Chain A
Amino acid sequence: MEFGETVLTIALLLSIYAIIAHILGIWKKKNEMFDSARGAIVLIGVMLTLASIWLFNLFITRNFQYEYVALYSSLDLPMFYTIAAFWAGADGSLLLWAWLISIYIAIIAIRGKSYDNLIKHAMLVILPTLAYLMYMLLTVSRPFRMLDFMPVDGNGLNPLLQDPGMWFHPPTLFWGYAAVLIPFAIMIAGIYLSDDSWIYRARRWALWGWLGLTLGNMFGSYWAYTVLNWGGFWGWDPVENASFLPWLTLTAFYHSTMIQERKGGMKIWNIFLILFTWELVIYGTLLTRSGIIASVHTFGQSVTAPYYIYYMIVVFAATVLLVAWKYDSIKNKKILESFVSREGSFLYNNWIFIASASSVLWGTTYPLLSEAFRGYKVMVGPSFYNQVNVPLGIALLFLMAICPLIGWRKASLSNLKRNFSRPLMLAAGAMVIAFAVGIRDFYALFVAVAGTVLVISTHLISASRMVTGQKKTGDKGFTKNVSLAFWNNRRTFGGYLCHIAILMIIVSAAGAVVYEKAETFNMRVGGTYSVGDYDFRLTKIDHYDKNNKEVSAALFDVYKNGKLVLSDSNALMYYYPKQENTNVKPMAYRVGIDDLYFSPQAITATGATVKIKVMPMMFLMWIGGFYVLILGIIVSLSTKVAVRKRRENIGMEDLNEL
């Protein structure tokens, strides 16, 4: 038997053993069964790591007798991309997913001390899922399938995937996909055991998954911007949507878990949010593997689609039945005394995320439903997603401005006056100044200016109150007071950083859309062409070979008000002889607050046809999404909310959370 499949078979047998040991351990109440099951779980992690190293090795040694290696790499493919070709296709991605799950559960098994009744039951959800994935890897989605001949060369990697983003986008997305399974399983165990503490135990894994999904979506967005030539950061591509959907529901889940922690409410809501998040992860995988939707991500027709659909049906039916069976033990406490309250803001936040997720799910799925039930195919254009999600984004922005300062239970008029009069005055003042300097656009005035000032000022006021509270416990000087306030309220500050990041993303999206200027020119060398405040002078056309591609480059010097601000900026086209493919490589350069975006349509010996865009504020999106948001999640991850201690030690400022 082939080495990779032998290792996978051993891992599958180990997982079956671990499942049986868990059942017997729970049934017979024998702790020694769990000790051996934990050993088996660690061994599953070792086996899947071996299988993954083996697949890396097959790519590195360019062993084309393996069909998967032959399909996604070739002799001329640079080693950098040859290694990343591991996850270029469906089979390798499935192995990556299973590998990450096995590492997560091996960590849980090794830590031991937290391997309590909840986790023991959760393993009876995780292990069968992992065993199912491994069964698929051995039967219908085989990365170690061998050909009965040795091809001279492989087919090579899709040129669109030959970008450094290949190293970051798929692994981070699958890191998130794998992590979401853990809170889902803990939730199932919690319902079965009527143990409300599942929400605390799921929190950090949900955050870890959220970090992975956030990074995956941001890398995907940056890839779309700099590689796919979609001309923007988000194209509402169906499979792009598929990775966005679980992010939306998981974001809603993380917010509403705080209400369950503090108030014991929204329990059923939370159960279904994490169920839908996991279902949407599977749905996203189904879309990328079934070939039912045309997209850059889809891997064509595959026999795996029914496997994902059956799994989704079983998971949904089992969860609904379990909830129905245990309904009496899931006691929802009434949380909403007033719509104008902190609880209300959490509820609205959830509605916004669910409305957004519903619209994206509907737009993505409707073409499939239409074909299946009405017999004709349709496509849903980006305008639908924009028209629904832009207002929701604006509502979210103003909700973020309200939530740090609005009172719990019922915000009185005096509470509202005390907390919001200064931020509102500041926002109004900023709008007047913006209007005076010539800003007239609605989005720019209300979203970028008023929204920004409101969000930042309410967050700063809340943060300053935390520092004041810290000072009251013993004044240790400004720096130490701020540091201690931050350290003691890390979860809150982490949440605030996330809010600021989302603000930056919304503002940059509004700026790029409202103030974007674009022109397409048929240019001659030496000619100068204007877009917005910039003059672009085509200085040179260059053709050269680089690795496995032929490069055509149009070089520009860029001037603003007669002053050179950028030299030798490139508009690039790549020709890949192996695939006989020509691809546009869009290039973005930042000058001040503007991104200058070059997207060539043709480059000849004497000239070029190039679309040039000037997009303001785009840098905020990448700083917000890659740095501030990630930092915020990491800061939140650094805290642990203990089940019992929490209620005893709760302080006023602890209430100011994400």
Chain B
Amino acid sequence: MDKKHKNILGIGVVGILIIYLGAVSFSSALSFYYEVGEFVTIADTLNGKLVNVNGTIASGSTIWEPEKARLTFDLSDNEGTITVVSNDGMPGSYKEGIPAVVTGYFVNNTFQATLVVTKCPSKYGDDLDHGEHNET
């Protein structure tokens, strides 16, 4: 084998190694993403796997305990509701009635969230305050 082919072989080995490491780290970094209704039906089978659940923060469900930095709320959609507990303080832009994605583990019928990401409602058109006498 000449020098050029040795170099190509060396670079190829490094390339394959990088792709292999990428593939291994990719599979370990993947976590499933469910809607609340889907999640409720399979929650018991997850065996403590890290998952993401998307739903809407239910109105009137928030319990905020600032001394413990603990936030408890219900996350729901049309097909189910789960109770979420986060010990990581108040997430940015938290508000009842808006969509949120929670990441964490389902333990003892409670979702222990390691991350709560609120989504900003962006299409506000219907919510604009019409006022009483300002129609044009």
Contacts and interface: CB of A to CB of B under 8 A. Distances in A.
Nearest to B22: A388
A538 to B, nearest CB: 14
Interface stretch (A265-273, A462-470, A578-586, A615-623): A578-586
A149 interface: yes
Interface in A301-344: 301, 339
Give the secondary structure class of A's interface: mixed
Interface in A63-113: 64-65, 67, 70-71, 89
B28 A581 contact: no
B117 A294 contact: yes
A602 B128 contact: no
Contact of A602 (B33, B90, B122): B90
Interface in A551-608: 573, 579-584, 600-604, 607
Given A294-B119, A383-B28, A609 B7 contact: no
Interface in A458-488: none
A152 B89 contact: no
Interface in B86-136: 88-90, 92-95, 101, 103, 117, 119-125, 127-131, 134-136
Nearest to A89: B122
Contacts of A430: none
B95 A152 contact: no
B67 interface: yes
A573 B89 CA distance: 11
B31 to A, nearest CB: 5
A379 B67 contact: no
Interface in B25-57: 25-26, 28-34, 52, 54
Contact of A603 (B32, B66, B68): B66
Contacts of B52: 377, 379
B69 A609 contact: yes
A381 B95 contact: no
A582 B93 CA distance: 6
A382 interface: yes
A383 to B, nearest CB: 5
A355 B18 CA distance: 9
Contacts of A363: 26, 29
A449 interface: no
A150 B129 CA distance: 9
A517 B26 CA distance: 27
Interface stretch (A117-125, A155-163, A196-204): A155-163
A158 B34 CA distance: 26
Given A152-B129, A522-B68, A387 B21 contact: yes
A583 B93 contact: yes
B86 to A, nearest CB: 10
A520 B93 CA distance: 21
B18 A300 contact: no
B11 interface: yes
A27 interface: no
B24 to A, nearest CB: 8
Contact of B94 (A89, A581, A602): A581
B93 A160 contact: yes
B90 A573 contact: yes
A71 B128 CA distance: 8
Contact of B136 (A148, A298, A383, A388): A148
Contact of B92 (A160, A387, A609): A160
B22 A359 contact: yes
Contacts of B136: 65, 148-150
Interface string A524-550: 000000000000000000000000000
A538 B25 CA distance: 41
A582 B119 contact: no
Contact of A152 (B18, B28, B127, B131): B131
Contacts of A299: 122
Contacts of B26: 362-363, 366, 380, 384
B3 to A, nearest CB: 9
Contacts of A457: none
Contacts of A147: 128
8 contacts: A150-B135, A298-B119, A298-B122, A339-B11, A379-B33, A380-B26, A387-B29, A581-B95
Interface of A: 64-65, 67, 70-71, 89, 147-155, 158-160, 228-229, 291, 294, 296, 298-301, 339, 355, 359, 362-363, 366-367, 376-385, 387-388, 391-392, 520, 522, 573, 579-584, 600-604, 607, 609, 611
